[in-house]
């Protein structure tokens, strides 16, 4: 079946002749449109509908008659009920009127005819069979195009197929399905059935597909708007020459990403947006973090310049720099770089606000940092716990140099309470380690004594072993002696059970 028949082509050619100009340009335009239509005449597939015929001519001839387009579309339709009815009419001679009457959609007419002469119902059977098969075909194609879409064109084509399936379903007589709940083309050897339930299910499926297509089409608008806004924000960022302009571009960039992230994920546009958002967010994070660091460095340079004459303004600039750097998350690759800058800016800020107390606090933090690092991966020996305790004590000593009247006194007291708590914990760990080592040594001495001179009485031997076990059980977890104590404990318990 070709997509455009000769009759429809003739109708369109007549209107093209009327719309064409007489000059050379008019001839060229006429040739272009006619070639398009002739190409449709050569292509096999579904018959071209009104919209496709209009698209073939309207760009060249905006004045092309809509009435003519409708006439051509009607002439191009596949043979339907009345075309097949004519064939049956010719076959039966002069019985046209009777044949038309018996094929009317009224059960009281069709029932006696179906029992007496079912051949007379052939035209309506053929028509119903055609629309049934077309409905199934269009519905399957619509389902595939919508649910497996790869482009907006698939969504649009799927919507058209769903509309075509709906038209086919509208041409199936529901009254017939209800009146004859059996294979209605049984006379001609058909074996399939199409019940009212199947009809309703098909209509529901069409409605769902049309709803999905409607949502998908609507979702393309925010997708296009979001991608355009993101592109403009990125261009604005690349062209920005000042930190303020870059931050404004970053804000626009973030808004565009938020817009894309809000597109319903169940739609094709939402899936497309989600597949792109990972790369968009990565580029955005790189730009945002780079802007934070660049802004902080710029604030620092300006603060250094004005510090001698405008200490208050310099303080505000360093506060802004610290604020930017604090927004960089720990998982970002540039986090450590930001932390190094942050530590330097905090020292400068405290030096301006309170030189003496700021120095003591910074020194205390350095000792505390060293102590915290040394405490990692316990257990440690008694000697190491003592070294760690000395570091915490030095931190405390630095903070105790700050007097009550100094501005940094309250901050120093907060740190002092924290460091004293930490020192207490370290002292507890040191004491536990010391006691564990002493208990382990004593247990080993007991074991050596038993080996050198074991008691002659089994009861005495068991009593001695039980004493070793009790001593080993006093060794706490988290000490260097704990692992060895556990091994000795297992051995002693086995010996006790023998």
pLDDT score recorded for residue 103: 59
3 three-class SS:
coil
Are residues 469 and 493 in contact, defined by beta-carbon separation less than 8 angstroms? yes
Phi, psi of 301 (to 5 degrees): -60, -45
221 Cβ neighbours under 8 A, 6+ residues apart:
none
Structure tokens at 276: 């792109």
Residue with tokens 């040191």: 430
Q: What share of the chain is helix, strand, coil (3-state, %, to 5)?
A: 80, 0, 20
Do residues 452 and 352 touch, judged by C-beta distance below 8 A? no
Give the pLDDT confidence score for residue 374 in this predicted structure: 94
Q: How far apart are CA 343 and CA 353, in angstroms?
A: 16
- Distance separating alpha carbons of residues 206 and 161, to the nearest angstrom: 9
Radius of gyration of the chain, Cα coordinates, nearest whole angstrom: 45
Mind listing the pLDDT tens digit for each residue in 314-372? 888 888 999 989 988 888 888 898 899 988 888 787 766 656 677 888 899 999 999 99
Query: Could you tell me the mean pLDDT of each successive run of 10 residues in the chain, 498 residues long?
Result: 85 86 77 84 84 83 86 79 44 52 59 61 68 76 75 76 78 58 42 59 75 74 85 88 87 88 80 83 87 90 85 86 89 88 84 70 93 93 95 94 80 93 95 93 89 84 88 91 91 82
> In the prediction, which pLDDT does 106 show?
58
- Enter the tokens of residue 116: 């007496």
Two structure tokens written together for 491: 């051995």
Give the per-residue pLDDT at 182.
43
φ, ψ for residue 2, nearest 5 deg: -80, 155
Query: Widest CA span of the chain, in angstroms?
Result: 134
Looking at the DSSP bridge assignments, the partners of residue 44 are 2
User: CA triplet 194, 196, 199: central angle to 5 degrees?
Assistant: 70
List residues bridging with 2 in a β-sheet.
44
For residue 99, the model assigns a pLDDT of 60
* Tokens at 49, concatenated: 């509908």
CA distance 87 to 306: 100
Neighbours of 283 (CB within 10 A): 15
């Amino acid at each position: 079946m070709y997509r455009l028949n000769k009759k429809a082509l003739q109708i369109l050619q007549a209107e093209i002749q009327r719309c064409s100009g007489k000059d050379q340009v008019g001839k060229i335009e006429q040739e272009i449109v006619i070639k398009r239509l002739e190409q449709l005449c050569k292509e096999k597939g579904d018959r071209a509908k009104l919209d496709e015929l209009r698209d073939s001519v309207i760009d060249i001839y905006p004045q092309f008659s809509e009435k003519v387009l409708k006439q051509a579309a009607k002439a191009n339709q596949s043979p339907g009920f009345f075309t097949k009815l004519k064939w049956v009419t010719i076959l039966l001679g002069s019985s046209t009127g009777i044949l038309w009457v018996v094929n009317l959609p009224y059960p009281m007419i069709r029932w006696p005819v179906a029992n007496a002469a079912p051949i007379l119902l052939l035209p309506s059977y053929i028509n119903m069979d055609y629309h049934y098969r077309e409905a199934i075909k269009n519905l399957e194609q619509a389902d595939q195009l919508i649910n497996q879409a790869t482009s907006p064109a698939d969504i649009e084509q799927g919507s058209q197929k769903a509309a075509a399936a709906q038209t086919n379903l509208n041409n199936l007589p529901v009254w017939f399905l209800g009146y004859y709940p059996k294979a209605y083309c049984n006379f001609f050897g058909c074996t399939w059935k199409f019940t009212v339930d199947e009809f309703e299910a098909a209509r529901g499926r069409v409605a769902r597909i049309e709803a999905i297509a409607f949502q998908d089409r609507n979702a393309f608008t925010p997708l296009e708007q979001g991608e355009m806004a993101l592109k403009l924000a990125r261009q604005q960022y690349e062209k920005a020459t000042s930190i303020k302009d870059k931050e404004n571009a970053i804000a626009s960039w973030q808004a565009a990403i938020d817009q894309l992230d809000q597109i319903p994920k169940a739609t094709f546009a939402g899936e497309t947006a989600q597949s792109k958002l990972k790369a968009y967010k990565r580029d955005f994070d790189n730009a945002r973090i780079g802007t934070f660091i660049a802004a902080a460095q710029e604030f620092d340079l300006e603060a250094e310049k004005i510090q001698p004459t405008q200490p208050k303004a310099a303080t505000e600039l360093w506060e802004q720099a610290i604020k930017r750097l604090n927004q960089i998350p720990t998982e970002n690759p540039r986090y450590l770089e930001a932390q190094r800058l942050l530590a330097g800016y905090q020292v400068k800020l405290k030096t301006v606000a309170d030189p003496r107390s700021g120095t003591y606090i910074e020194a205390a933090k350095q000792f505390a940092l060293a102590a915290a690092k040394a405490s990692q991966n316990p257990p440690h020996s008694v000697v190491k716990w003592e070294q760690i305790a000395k570091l915490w004590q030095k931190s405390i000593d630095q903070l105790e140099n700050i007097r009550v009247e100094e501005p940094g006194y309250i901050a120093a007291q907060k740190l002092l309470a924290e460091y004293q708590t930490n020192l207490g914990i370290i002292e507890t760990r040191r004491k536990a380690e010391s006691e564990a080592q002493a208990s382990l040594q004593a247990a080993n001495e007991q074991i050596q004594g038993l080996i050198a001179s074991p008691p002659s009485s089994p009861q005495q031997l068991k009593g001695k072993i039980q004493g070793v076990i009790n001593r080993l059980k006093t060794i706490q977890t988290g000490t260097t002696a704990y692992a060895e104590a556990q091994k000795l404990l297992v051995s002693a318990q086995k010996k006790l059970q023998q």
